[in-house]
Amino acid sequence: MRRFSLVWKISLSTAAALLLLLIVAGHFVQEQAEATLVRNLDAELENSFKAYESLWSARTEMLRSISLVLSTMSDVRAAFQTNDRATIQDTADEMWKRISLFEALFFVTDGKGDIVAGAGGRNFTRNLQVVRDALPRFPAQSTGFAMQDGRLFEFVVTPVYVQTDGAMELLKVLVTGFPVEDGVVKDLKAQTGGSDFVFLEGTRPVATTLSTENTARIAVQYKRGKGLTHLDLGDREYAVLGTPLRNLAGTQGGDLLIVHNFDAIRRDIDSLRVKLGLTWLVATLAGLCITVFLARRALKPIEELDQAAARITEQKYEARVTEGDDDELGRLARTFNAMCRSIQDAREELIQHEQIATIGRLSSSIVHDLRNPLASIYGGAEMMIDGELNPVQMRRIAGNIYRSSRVIKDMLQQLVDVSRGRTQSPEVCRLSELVEAAVDTQISNADNQGVEIRVRIEAGLEVSVEAGRVERVFTNLIGNAIEAMHDGGIIEISAEAQAEGVLVRVDDNGPGIPLVVRQRLFQPFVTTKRKGMGLGLSICRTIVEAHGGRIWADARPSGGTIFRFTLRVARPEEEPTLAE
């Protein structure tokens, strides 16, 4: 996964938090907006209901007033007292034409509801049930809704009484009303603000401003007595406010439903969602850009610290950062600069100490390596001066002096090469010849100590090494073994080819090395000799490891020490070079 920078981590985290906050806030706003719109819709239904009551009551009150006026007119009473149908009909037509203000109907019936005369263009059956329904309330005027000949009407029933012999006698009954039809409810919708109206007789719609399908579905789902309810028809949702329609007997004969769909609310909510989505997008992008800008400015010192720390890892200790203000980052920058100065000073001091230590180690190594050949030269020269030697002895001592001086010459040449940056390349050598050259430098010391040196190496075994340095390994190991065997002994040098190289063994039957010393044997300045410097085996390890091998020491079960080390075997394509 791609590693994001600290700036982008902070920016993306902030943008994610901002987006989450906007989503929560947007959801809350949407819920509140939807609730507010629904409340507004409910309030609109309540207002529509109040407007309906006002309009309908005004119309009903007009009918009541007209009926009362007619019932008190003397010519109307006189016509009623004649009991002549034609006279009553003529009177009814004349009076209704003068006072009728809207499409309505007017009937004159007897006390049983039989129609005597009528006006208003409606042809009903000869009997009106509404008169019998209102009869228990006589002589009071009654109003209510009723079905007549399959249609819904609101009727006003006004009894007309006459005084006879000190008692009130029912003369006739005036019945006025108006139909509840689709045209009437459409006018009602236009006058009340756009809400739809549905008049029900039971569950059967008798007048509506909605489609037949939606009206039927609403009528089926509507539960009487629930007040303001919400009906979900699947494809559309409606808010419904129901009110009972009272008949002339005072009981509920039907229902008026004031209906308003949620289409406008849904459109408003969808529009709000789009606006909120755009707001989220713009706010998130703007917040991300602002956060990136501010984060880059705030984290610029940290970025500078990161770059300076990277230069420090490249050992460029002169790196520094701008210290800036006196805040946390400014204090961190000053601390970092102080740390860099301390590291730079400490490194320069360390380099000086290492140079001195290197000179010391080099001097110690030179002294260590020169001791044996110088001792051989010194001893041979002393014998030649003080002793009376025959020609054979003289020749042998001269040979030892020559070989020791050659060793010194080679060592000095190696030092010159190293100081000039030149290193000796590995060459293919016969291992037996390297060992013989090392044995020759130590043979006189071995003879003096009574030590026998045995070499058991195949003449054809070849290795790819720096001959001079590997010869020093054998010289040090043989010299150490000779010095440890004061009472004489045997040193045996052998080698065997293995899959990954050559394993060399240098065995002696001397006193051995204590375990405590053997565990630290190849560290500098570790020795068991009273006058030893403890550098020989450390030099051996350095040379062997430089050739890709390793060196270790074990104790012999019968006494003495076994040194083992590995060397790289020569490849067949490499040309052999004779070691001098």
What digits encode the pLDDT tens for the residues 539-572? 888 889 988 899 999 988 888 899 999 988 766 5
Orientation of helix 536-546 relative to helix 328-386, angle to 10°: 110
Same fold, 73-179 and 180-261: yes
Cα–Cα distances (Å) from 343 to 31, 311, 432, in that order, read 63, 13, 51
Pairing assessment for the beta strands 489-498 and 451-456 based on DSSP bridges: parallel
In terms of pLDDT, which residue wins out, 55 or 9?
A: 55
**Strand ranges across the sheet with 237-246:** 204-208, 196-201, 252-261, 237-246, 228-232
The ranges assigned to domains in the chain are 73-179, 180-261, 426-580
Residue 366 in this model has a pLDDT that exceeds 70? no
Query: What six digits make up the tokens of 312?
Result: 């420090």
359 — pLDDT class (breaks 50, 70, 90): low
Q: How far apart are the first and last CA of the chain?
A: 61
Q: What is the pLDDT of residues 43-58, one digit of tens each?
A: 777 777 787 778 788 8
User: Which one-letter amino acid corresponds to residue 423?
Assistant: T
**Strand ranges across the sheet with 501-508:** 451-456, 489-498, 501-508, 561-567, 551-555
Q: What is the pLDDT of residues 315-326, one digit of tens each?
A: 777 778 787 777
Query: What six digits make up the tokens of 85?
Result: 């149908």
Under 8 Å between Cβ of 333 and 323: yes
DSSP-derived secondary structure letter, 569: B
Q: What is the pLDDT of residues 140-185, one digit of tens each?
A: 999 999 888 788 888 999 998 887 777 788 888 988 888 888 888 8
**pLDDT in the model for residue 576:** 46
Residues 6 or more apart whose CB falls under 8 angstroms from that of 556 comprise 507, 509, 512, 562
**Which of these, 520, 516, 508, 510, lies nearest to 552 by C-alpha position?**
520
Q: What is the pLDDT of residues 415-473, one digit of tens each?
A: 666 555 455 678 888 999 999 988 888 887 888 889 999 999 998 888 988 888 898 89
For 197-265, the DSSP string reads EEEEETTEEEEESS-HHHHHHHHHH--TT--EEEEE-SS-EEEEEEEEEE-TTSSEEEEEEEEEESHHH
Residue 577 in this model has a pLDDT that exceeds 50? no
Class of domain 73-179: alpha beta
CA atoms in the 13 A half-sphere facing the CB of 68: 11
Residue 218 in this model has a pLDDT that exceeds 90? no
Rounded CA-CA distance 342/328 in Å is 21
**pLDDT in the model for residue 190:** 83
Name the β-bridge partners of 535.
Answer: none
Class of domain 180-261: alpha beta
| Number of C-beta neighbours around residue 8 at 10 A | 15
Return the ∠ at Cα 483 (arms to 480 and 486), rounded to 5°: 145
Q: What is the pLDDT of residues 87-115, one digit of tens each?
A: 877 877 777 776 555 567 888 888 888 88
What is the CATH architecture of 426-580?
2-Layer Sandwich (3.30)
Residues 6 or more apart whose CB falls under 8 angstroms from that of 163 comprise 169
Dihedral sign of CA atoms 296, 301, 305, 308 in order:
positive
Rounded CA-CA distance 572/526 in Å is 40
